[in-house]
Amino acid sequence: MFAVLPVLLLLFLFNLYWKRKKQREFGDDELVKKLTPEKSIFKPVLKFVILLLALSGVIIALVNPKIGTKTETVKREGIDIVFAIDVSKSMLAEDVAPNRLEKAKQIVSQIINQLGTDRIGIIGYAGSAYPVLPITSDYSVAKMFLQNMNTDMVSSQGTALSDAIQLATTYYDDPQTSKLLILVSDGEDHGEGSMEAAENAKDKGIKIITIGVGTEKGSTIPIKRNGITESYKRDREGEVVITKMYPDALKTIADQTKGGYVYGGNTREVSEYVKKALDNIEKTEFEAKEIATYDSQYQWFLGAAFLLLFLDVFLLDRKTAWIRKLNLFNEKV
């Protein structure tokens, strides 16, 4: 923005040159001075300098310079939450709009929106589990990783709930912090040991909330190219696969850890359910640190700029009487 000031200076000088040229076309310098005896040569320059100083003050104020430090202790209380999201091919079924996976992302994103100082992590799983994002308090990064999740990120297909639960148990690095695992899935479990994994999670103090997406009636799994459905997934016998939601498996896992199950058909209802559940979980102080903050000084520069602009209002282009009496420039009277 300071680069504008030299441009204004060039425009001002050009304007002076143009005025001088026009005056000479009108008459000689002595005649012009006699016709405009009160016109000051110095005042327009002073007014322009004041304008440049005022603009400089505004520009510096926008930068918000800071000096002077003070330290304060910031305490953060919350719980560690891990989201385990099913990314198997069955999540492409469109029995919920736009499909199960996108619905799952909407639900998780809405839950993140209502969090405060809790830390979160993300896991993707299908035939195996894959760490997407470790425990963090940066919600914007979490949402970015969440939106990038797709069914191609895990090579082995199927749905292994046990792998997701086992991987989640490794996410929590503080044994004193309250722990919650939110498992989002259609409930199809092609693996073994999910009950044992849930029992192990319970022993480690982890509660599990399960969210079911899909319908019990089920739907086909479209195979798309460039957003256009070309065919539907078939089994080894060539029959079109119908994938259904199985809430019983999700309910059993949740009950085993004294968590809860909720159907994910309505995003708002799910987020409210999770919010109530979080309110009943004890918050733990997991971070307390001192940070140095700087005092903003923009107000001084802004105040000076306004003062200069205020003074500029009272500066006229004609000569000031008392300065004229001093005759600083030895002008002929």
Global confidence as pTM: 0.63
Report residue 219: phi and psi, to 5°. Answer: -160, 165
Instruction: Tell me the per-residue pLDDT of 92-119, one tens digit each, with 9 for 90 and over.
Output: 999 898 899 999 999 999 999 998 888 9
Distance set, CA 326 to CA 42, 247, 317, 321 (Å):
14, 96, 18, 9
Domains recognised in the chain with CATH numbers: 4-65+297-326 (no CATH), 75-288 (3.40.50.410)
Q: pLDDT of the chain along its 333 residues, tens only?
A: 889 999 989 998 898 888 777 777 766 666 666 666 566 667 778 888 888 999 999 999 998 888 777 666 666 678 899 999 999 888 999 989 889 999 999 999 999 999 888 899 999 998 888 899 999 989 999 999 999 999 888 777 767 888 999 999 999 877 778 899 999 998 886 667 888 999 999 999 999 999 999 998 988 988 888 878 888 888 888 888 898 899 998 999 999 998 999 999 899 999 999 999 988 887 776 665 666 667 788 889 999 999 988 888 777 666 655 455 555 545 554
